[in-house]
Structure 1
Amino acid sequence: MYDAIVIGGGPAGLQATLTLGRMHRPTLMLDSGAYRNAPVDAMHNIITNDGRDPAEFRSIVRAEVAAYGDVEIREVAATTVDRLGDGTFEVTLADGSVVAAQNIVLATGLRDVMPDIPGFAEQWGRTVHVCPFCHGHELSGKRIAIQDSPAAVHAVAMLSAIAGSIKVVPPVTRVAPSAAGLVVTSGSTAVVVDGLFAHPAFEQAAPFAAQLELELRESGAIAIDFFGHTSVPGVFAAGDLAHVAELPMPMPSVLAAAFAGQIAGAMVVREMLMEPA
């Protein structure tokens, strides 16, 4: 029986595990090897790690986490999470084994849903982006297209101080790299730019919110308070799969995810100390 099972090996899960390990709480972290930022080769807007390869970042943090004797890391996906009658949890793993814990920290993130647009998925995270904070600076003085949407006006305002030129394009029907740049096609019209900003839909990357019948916000992210509590006692959530009411959207940020993981890990410790002996 672990004190906590952390499901997810991104920044939220790694930080939650580090926090629990430093407090000598028996903790299992499960890492499926699937990450939302896998398509990108550099993270940005992260102090001490600006421009670092996400895979290198995870490798460094995993080595730090593994130094704590009460932490176990398994490179295996969880498939189901069940809450038992006594309030503890059983987690079934992809290898068929079953593990148990008093608390669960969900850090499995969101999954971007690629639209049925030729070339879009292949260029996602390379020349097609969603976040100006993460990828805007790299397009300084260059040609930027923004797919028309309710968020387009806001994106134009943010990128206007960065781009050399900005063009808002109608719904995109095709994207393709070329020697001249990224060719963005909308119907019968094509423009050549250096980068495209778009806002595809997203969904929970794992089924655990549904399995545990957790409350969701309109965004589709798990409803949490500032401390990472979900609607089910003993279940915490951290990272972009979760959404606090004070923010307009779940935050797709490595730093925000790590912060949320630290808070969730600390809350697990705090609430275990508050439980009657």
Structure 2
Amino acid sequence: MRPVPPASEPTVAALGAGDRIAGAFACVRKDRMTGRSGPFLALDLRDRTGTMPARIFKDVDRWEGQFERGDVIQVSGSVDRYRDDLVAELTAVRRLDPAEVDPAQFLPSAYRDLDELEGFLEGMAGEVGDERFGGLLRELLADEALRRDLRRAPCTIAGHHAYLGGLLEHTVAVGALAMETCVHHPGLNRDLLLTACLVHDLGRTREFTYGAEFGRTERGELLGHVELGLRIIAEPARRAGLDETRWSHLAHCVLTHHGPERAGGRFRTAEAVTLHRLNALDATVKDALEHGLGNG
């Protein structure tokens, strides 16, 4: 089933008092409440331009069971002004199958151009001189489904790069940091490090679900993105002819990019330490820019 294209009806940001509201929106709040006239449903509807409160006053019992918070819903109704705020009064609601909708209508997206980022990724992959590591990257880049998932996935749900395309942006940033680091530290195995940077978070492409909000897949919850990432690269690595030494060094980097706990509590190579630090650097800087420094 093909995704529903963006609605031609006005977006949240364009709606005004007296307008008709019709189209697909993310339901990011759903509460049953009681007013002077009896029960009603209080909703918040979101699209890529903003959020609007909505109410259902008629046939509450009927509509309440049709959808849940976190669903994408097709709605119809009208917009009125209540106490200086715009509120949508809905007369019909229908839950949409996630496969019917484009997540970009409802979820935050990268500001950077994804085609440009993908070009940087291809360029860095082409900088890998080792034929086996280079072959692995060519195998991965030839997987069109994986590349689509890489363009779509965030890095986290609520932390750094928590938007569509965030994973691609983070991957390119970590790779660029690695190339610069190797200029200053020529003792590093540049091909190993750069390959590890470009594949370290591929498990994120299997970790998330997309709808009104980001969620986690069952395998993402059970296995985590590190294990999922190793599974993604294992077969392409075999086809590319990675020997045991190359595979072990690359897998160690992936396993330890959030810390050495998965490898007996110790980093075993300088490249693994470097990936860990560069990954944390980009994530920490991005988090500070997006969410501030907190009270620490």
TM-score, structure 2 normalization: 0.26
TM-score, structure 1 normalization: 0.27
Higher relative contact order (CA 8 A, sep 6+): 1
